[in-house]
Amino acid sequence: MELLKFLFYFILIAACAAQCPDSDANLLKWSDHAGTWSGSPPAENDNLTITQPILLDEQPPTLYSIVITATGKLVWDPNTEVHLKVHWVQVDGELHIGSEDCPFLSNTHITFLGNVEENNLGAGGDKALFVTAGGTLEIHGKPKLSWTKFAQTAPKFNTETDVIASQIEDTKKRGLAVYSINPTTGELVDSAFFNFLINGRKYPDLIISFVNFLDGIPDVNIVGIAIHKDLPRRGDITGALEAIEILAGQTDGTNPLRDTEDAMYSLLTTKKHILIIGSTSMSKEVYLPLKSEGKTIAEVSMVFAEFIVVVTSTFDINRRDRSKAEVLVAVDLKYRPVLNFIEDVSTWETGDTVVIASTDYDWRQAEERRNFPLIDCRLCG
Ligand SMILES: *[C@@H]1O[C@H](CO)[C@@H](O)[C@H](O)[C@H]1NC(C)=O
């Protein structure tokens, strides 16, 4: 009974604590064009004045400005991903993106357009979000430790001695890069690039050479496959996908490349699935649909006794020529040094950018690392 009582209070407290701004019953939905906007929702380049409580639950058009009056309120819907583009926003009323008890866990973007002082708005300026006296601005994202200190000096990564093998495709062609790696030494013993950007009539030959190349890789070797730029399908590629499925020990028809073209893909596997001491898994793949902005990075890595193999397929929507496939074999502990911090960094995630700077504030000693493979966060918590 005591336990039930405790649970009851616990649930009650939890329910009260989670005061999410989007749960305000007075909110009118932006997406309810007929109701909220009486049939004329905000249009491109509008100077919008918000006088009521509104839930931003759809992608708005590019706006010129937004003024939220004292009676107005604009609340981001946590279930809708929006990218607000506007020259300036003035908050006399309220603007909420999450709250302290109910952080906003999805992504959102606000881009301020135009030039500073283009409208001579005065004190608040333009190309800005400004809150006037009495206004409320609440922006609370996912909790994340913003900075901390090393508990001890970090080891230096030395590309000259610590990299066993590395290769980046250097071609305008598009297709699949395949790498064959010696499981004992980490050497890149063979690699090949298969250009799928060719006439559809040549596909049967292309598929045969792809299948033959995979067949010819010595058993027990580590095999990496990555999309280079794109995987055009001008003919039937089923044979190639079947060969990948056999190689990776996948069930027929389950390779994700069967589904769609707009994705990045990388795979690491050991041929014939012979157990190699120290490897955590026989086959790993990463399949990522293309993001609408920036880079999509499908990176897969596997640790063997002495080294780590990383296969990466990157697509950069803004700089397509920089899209690439690559392989890196490096001495594991130096590629992934164990870093000791004085605080709990478990809120950091793979894909985060970590900037490491020395305390003498010399920028030449600053290093930026992205995609920290926080694989086994041994020191977390
Ligand atoms: C909004 O204001 C700007 C700056 O005053 C103006 O250039 C623009 O035309 C206005 N938008 C509309 C739809 O009237």
Query: 48: CA distance to ligand 1 center in Å?
Result: 10
Whole-number average pLDDT of the chain = 84
In angstroms and rounded to an integer, the radius of gyration of the C-alpha atoms of the chain is 26
What's the rounded mean pLDDT across residues 179-186? 94
Residue 34 DSSP symbol:
H
Which band of pLDDT confidence, cut at 50, 70 and 90, is reported for residue 361?
low
CB 264 within 8 A of CB 314: yes
**130: its two tokens:** 């400004």
Query: 68: CA distance to ligand 1 center in Å?
Result: 17
Query: 47: CA distance to ligand 1 center in Å?
Result: 6
Q: For ligand 1, which residues put their CB under 6 angstroms from it?
A: 45-47, 64, 119
What's the rounded mean pLDDT across residues 186-200? 95
Query: 46: CA distance to ligand 1 center in Å?
Result: 6
Residue type, 249: G
What's the rounded mean pLDDT across residues 46-53? 97
Going by C-alpha positions, the residue among 129, 81, 74, 83 that lies closest to residue 105 is 81
Going by C-alpha positions, the residue among 136, 123, 5, 12 that lies closest to residue 69 is 136
pLDDT above 70 coverage of the chain, percent? 81
Residue with CA nearest ligand 1 atom 9: 45
Please determine, for residue 107, whether its predicted confidence score (pLDDT) is greater than 80: yes
pLDDT of the residue at 65: 93
97 burial via Cβ count (<10 Å: 0-12, 13-18, 19+): buried
pLDDT of the residue at 366: 64
Q: Which of 192-206, 282-296, 355-369 shows the highest mean pLDDT?
A: 192-206
Query: 42: CA distance to ligand 1 center in Å?
Result: 13
CA 188-335-291 angle, 5° bins: 85
Residue with CA nearest ligand 1 atom 3: 64
CB 261 within 8 A of CB 175: no
3-state helix, strand, coil in the chain (%, to 5): 20, 35, 50
CB 307 within 8 A of CB 277: no
Pocket test for ligand 1, best of 44, 47, 113 (most atoms within 8 A of CB): 47
What's the rounded mean pLDDT across residues 52-67? 96
Pocket test for ligand 1, best of 64, 66, 127 (most atoms within 8 A of CB): 64
Query: 63: CA distance to ligand 1 center in Å?
Result: 9
pLDDT of the residue at 283: 86
What's the rounded mean pLDDT across residues 361-365? 66
pLDDT of the residue at 370: 56
Residue with CA nearest ligand 1 atom 1: 47
pLDDT of the residue at 16: 44
Q: What is the pTM of this model?
A: 0.53
Please determine, for residue 163, whether its predicted confidence score (pLDDT) is greater than 50: yes
Please determine, for residue 47, whether its predicted confidence score (pLDDT) is greater than 70: yes
Q: Which atom of ligand 1 is nearest the CA belonging to 44?
A: 13
Query: 292: CA distance to ligand 1 center in Å?
Result: 28
User: Each residue of 72-104: pLDDT tens digit?
Assistant: 999 999 999 999 999 999 999 999 999 999 999
Which band of pLDDT confidence, cut at 50, 70 and 90, is reported for residue 331?
confident
pLDDT of the residue at 18: 60
Residue with CA nearest ligand 1 atom 14: 46
Going by C-alpha positions, the residue among 170, 206, 119 that lies closest to residue 324 is 170
Residue with CA nearest ligand 1 atom 2: 47
Which band of pLDDT confidence, cut at 50, 70 and 90, is reported for residue 254?
confident
Residue with CA nearest ligand 1 atom 7: 64
Query: 38: CA distance to ligand 1 center in Å?
Result: 21
Which of 6-10, 58-62, 125-129, 312-316 bottoms out in mean pLDDT, i.e. has the lowest? 6-10
Which band of pLDDT confidence, cut at 50, 70 and 90, is reported for residue 334?
low
Which band of pLDDT confidence, cut at 50, 70 and 90, is reported for residue 53?
very high
Query: 115: CA distance to ligand 1 center in Å?
Result: 15
Q: Which atom of ligand 1 is nearest the CA belonging to 47?
A: 1
Which band of pLDDT confidence, cut at 50, 70 and 90, is reported for residue 365?
low
Query: 139: CA distance to ligand 1 center in Å?
Result: 27
Which of 32-36, 131-135, 321-325 bottoms out in mean pLDDT, i.e. has the lowest? 321-325
pLDDT above 90 coverage of the chain, percent? 55
Residue with CA nearest ligand 1 atom 11: 46
User: Each residue of 290-327: pLDDT tens digit?
Assistant: 888 788 999 998 888 788 899 999 998 888 888 899 99
Pocket test for ligand 1, best of 45, 65, 90 (most atoms within 8 A of CB): 45
